[in-house]
Amino acid sequence: MYCDCFHLSLRIIYFVCFNMVLRFKSGVFYTYNNSSEEKIMKLVGHVEVTKGYEHWKKIFLSHESKRKEYGIETVFTGKQADNHSIVHVCLEVQSMDNLQEFMKDPENGKVFIEAGVKIETQIMVPIIE
């Protein structure tokens, strides 16, 4: 069974960072990079969760080893001070190709649903130095 969060064909989220554009459509990140040099980057973002921060954090931490398999490290997580249903994260990504593969895996979509992530509210901004 295909996860609902991967049926986002009408929802497109654009991220722009210098000469790189990431597009999230139908559960897949596509990268366009004018530079031949791939940089380690951080992704800073936030998303609304429906089951509370503590539930989200428990599921998020239980999925840490899967992210590490793809070269994705957690820098920090936290909840917004004035709205505890908004979660903020910073992730370090070793390879944009690995991130694409991670996002293609339907099992990861199931984890988003289990954690109560409202995927349509997710904003991720790539940051490089």
Tokens representing 120 are 């349509």
Q: Tell me the residue length of the chain.
A: 129
**CB contact at 8 A, 126 and 15:** yes
Query: From first to last of its 129 residues, what are the pLDDT tens digits of the chain?
Result: 334 433 332 232 333 333 333 444 333 344 444 444 556 889 999 999 999 999 999 999 999 999 999 999 999 999 999 999 999 999 999 888 888 899 889 998 899 999 999 999 999 999 887
Sorted by where each begins, the domain ranges of the chain are 4-127
The answer regarding whether domain 4-127 maps to CATH 3.30.70.100 reads: yes
Tell me the C-alpha distance between 47 and 89, whole Å: 9
**CB contact at 8 A, 59 and 115:** yes
Instruction: Tell me the HSE value of 50 on the side-chain side, using a 13 A CA sphere.
Output: 9
